[in-house]
């Protein structure tokens, strides 16, 4: 312990006695300079921040006096900027409407209903005056039921093929190979008068979709006619490709095994986007059985929703009755719910994905055009393949060929049904056809894509003021 000297103890006792007053005098002398120093630092920080804020405000205010190259017509972000942007957007909408109207007018020749000779002048007048959500009288719908078959039977004539359509046409295509019966087994003396041989089974399958046993609804008639226009566009493209030929011996596409649009052509997995498109010969029996369970009898992926118009396609030729999946009761063919089911998988979006009925009205792709899927399978002269594709690309109706498959199924006879007749393994390869000495350059081709049919221009879809437009 430190010893405090005796001479200092007296002073310490005095300091201890009066320490409060001594501290009261010392504290202001210490704290006041410290306070002034802190205030000076704080004021300096405030001035620095104020200068920064002022410089930012001045920079914002200077924008009004600047000119941006290329944006002079839009003015400056002042009080009237919203009006300027609205006028600019409306100008763009009007340009889109003009292009939409041009496309609609360009396809006017396609949207032709059957002639008065085929269906009656009064029907043509009634359908031309039909407004949205109105129904045709029953007598007109009955007449369409009876007479539209005559128009469908004219399709083979558009491509210079023999017409082989029959009422509820016998075999509906069950067991038909990917490319149907080979031409060397199907050609007859009568066929030599035509440029194209169109598989009779496929003709009957198409004909059955227009062969109804009960009075169709107005919606069914409108959708069927749109599908018929798509078939006519597809036939015109084939005819254009064969325009320079003089017969089946030098035609670009002399044989068609399948010509389908809409529901019949829709794929659950368009273009093999989800994989599983390639199969190998090493696939075992279990893998083949699993693949067979996933594939339908026509080679398409299973999972298509029901569509009343196509209930009798791919079956025995008799119309099948549809049942409600919840109640188990039969669905009336004239019911409103059944009319909604008519939209299942007849359209696709811009990516090629089929649309179910509840998505058709919501899809932005269906507002301007209806993308109708198509499928064309047959034999093509490989030297004229570019001519066929050019014919599709130059049609007045936009046709987007998304898939071109050459000799599909030739790599594996177990893959689907192509092995029955298609590809090199089934007798329809280029070597098999080269023995006749006539068409040794033919090969199997499958084309898939979409046909874009324009819809009636509607300014409200684009957000334009209809009153000002009127």
Kindly tell me if the per-residue pLDDT of 173 is higher than 50.
no
Kindly tell me if the per-residue pLDDT of 300 is higher than 80.
no
Cα distances (Å, whole numbers) of residue 159 to 167, 198, 237: 21, 9, 9
Of 232-236, 326-330, 365-369, 466-470, the one with minimum mean pLDDT is: 326-330
What is the CA 395 to chain-centroid distance, rounded? 19
Q: What percent of the chain has pLDDT over 70?
A: 69
Model pLDDT for residues 78-113, shown as the tens digit of each residue = 556 777 888 888 899 999 999 999 999 999 999 999
User: How many whole angstroms separate alpha carbon 134 and alpha carbon 38?
Assistant: 85
Asked whether the beta carbons of 227 and 151 are under 8 A apart, the reply is no
pLDDT grade, residue 35 (50/70/90)?
A: confident
Kindly tell me if the per-residue pLDDT of 233 is higher than 80.
yes
What pLDDT sits at residue 442? 94
Instruction: State mean pLDDT over 176-201.
Output: 63
Angular region, 91: left φ>0, alpha ψ -120 to 50, beta rest? alpha
What is the CA 129 to chain-centroid distance, rounded? 30
- Record the pTM: 0.69
pLDDT grade, residue 159 (50/70/90)?
A: very high
Torsion angles phi and psi, residue 200, rounded to 5: -65, -35
Kindly tell me if the per-residue pLDDT of 297 is higher than 60.
no
Model pLDDT for residues 414-458, shown as the tens digit of each residue = 333 333 333 333 333 433 344 444 688 999 999 999 999 999 999
The three state secondary structure string of 320-357 is CCCECCCCCCECCCCCHHHHHHCCCCCCECCCCCECCH
Model pLDDT for residues 60-72, shown as the tens digit of each residue = 877 666 665 665 5
Mean pLDDT, the chain, rounded, equals 77
Instruction: State mean pLDDT over 145-164.
Output: 94
User: How many whole angstroms separate alpha carbon 357 and alpha carbon 158?
Assistant: 32
Q: Is the dihedral of CA 247, 249, 251, 255 positive or negative?
A: positive
pLDDT grade, residue 117 (50/70/90)?
A: confident
Select the more confidently predicted residue: 16 or 94.
Answer: 94
Of 11-15, 184-188, 380-384, the one with minimum mean pLDDT is: 184-188
Cα distances (Å, whole numbers) of residue 422 to 269, 384, 432, 441: 21, 20, 11, 16
Instruction: State mean pLDDT over 387-393.
Output: 95
Asked whether the beta carbons of 171 and 201 are under 8 A apart, the reply is yes
User: How many whole angstroms separate alpha carbon 467 and alpha carbon 470?
Assistant: 5
User: How many whole angstroms separate alpha carbon 42 and alpha carbon 44?
Assistant: 5
Helix, strand, coil in percent for the chain, rounding step 5:
45, 10, 40
Kindly tell me if the per-residue pLDDT of 169 is higher than 80.
no
pLDDT grade, residue 135 (50/70/90)?
A: very high
User: How many whole angstroms separate alpha carbon 112 and alpha carbon 115?
Assistant: 8
pLDDT grade, residue 57 (50/70/90)?
A: confident
Q: Is the dihedral of CA 97, 100, 106, 108 positive or negative?
A: negative
Kindly tell me if the per-residue pLDDT of 299 is higher than 50.
no
What pLDDT sits at residue 278? 60
Where b means 16+ CB within 10 Å and e means fewer, 274-309 reads eeeeebeeeeeeeeeeeeeeeeeebbbeeebeebbb
pLDDT grade, residue 213 (50/70/90)?
A: confident
Instruction: State mean pLDDT over 343-363.
Output: 89
What pLDDT sits at residue 310? 84
What pLDDT sits at residue 65? 64
């Amino acid at each position: 312990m430190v010893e405090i000297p005796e001479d200092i103890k007296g002073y310490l006792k005095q300091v201890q006695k009066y320490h409060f007053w001594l501290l009261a005098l010392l504290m202001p002398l210490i704290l006041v300079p410290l306070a002034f120093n802190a205030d000076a630092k704080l004021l300096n920080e405030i001035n620095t921040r104020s200068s920064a804020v002022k410089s930012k405000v001045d920079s914002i205010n200077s924008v009004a006096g600047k000119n941006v190259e290329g944006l002079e017509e839009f003015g400056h972000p002042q009080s009237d900027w919203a009006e300027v942007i609205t006028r600019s957007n409306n100008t763009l909408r009007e340009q889109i409407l003009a292009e939409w109207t041009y496309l609609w007018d360009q396809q006017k020749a396609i949207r032709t209903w059957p002639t008065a000779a085929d269906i009656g002048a009064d029907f043509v007048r009634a359908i031309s005056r039909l407004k949205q959500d109105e129904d045709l009288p029953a007598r007109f719908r009955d007449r369409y039921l009876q007479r539209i078959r005559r128009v469908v039977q004219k399709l083979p004539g558009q491509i210079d093929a023999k017409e082989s359509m029959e009422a509820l046409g016998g075999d509906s295509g069950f067991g038909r190979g990917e490319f149907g019966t080979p031409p060397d087994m199907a050609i007859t003396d009568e066929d030599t008068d035509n440029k194209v041989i169109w598989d009779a089974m496929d003709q009957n399958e198409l004909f059955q979709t227009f062969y109804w046993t009960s009075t169709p609804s107005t919606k069914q008639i409108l959708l069927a006619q749109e599908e018929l226009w798509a078939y006519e566009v597809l036939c015109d493209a084939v005819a254009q490709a064969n325009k320079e030929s003089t017969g089946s011996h030098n035609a670009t596409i002399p044989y068609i095994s399948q010509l389908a649009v809409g529901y019949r052509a829709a794929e659950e997995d368009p273009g093999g986007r989800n994989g599983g498109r390639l199969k190998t010969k090493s696939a075992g029996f279990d893998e083949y059985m699993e693949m067979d369970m996933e594939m339908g009898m026509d080679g398409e992926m299973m999972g298509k929703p029901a569509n009343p118009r196509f209930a009798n396609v791919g079956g025995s030729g008799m119309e099948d009755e549809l049942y409600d999946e919840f109640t188990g009761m039969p669905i009336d063919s004239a019911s409103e719910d059944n009319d909604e089911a008519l939209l299942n998988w007849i359209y696709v979006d811009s990516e090629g994905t089929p649309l179910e009925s509840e998505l058709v009205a919501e899809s932005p792709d269906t507002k301007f055009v209806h993308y109708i899927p198509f499928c064309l399978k047959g034999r093509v002269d490989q030297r004229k393949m570019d001519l066929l594709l050019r014919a599709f690309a130059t049609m007045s109706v936009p046709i987007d060929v998304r898939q071109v498959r050459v000799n599909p199924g030739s790599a594996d006879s177990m893959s689907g049904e192509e092995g029955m007749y298609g590809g090199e393994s089934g007798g329809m390869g280029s070597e098999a056809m080269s023995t006749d000495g006539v068409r040794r350059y033919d090969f199997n081709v499958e084309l898939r894509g979409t046909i874009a049919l324009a819809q009636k221009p509607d300014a409200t879809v684009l957000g334009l003021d209809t009153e000002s437009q009127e």
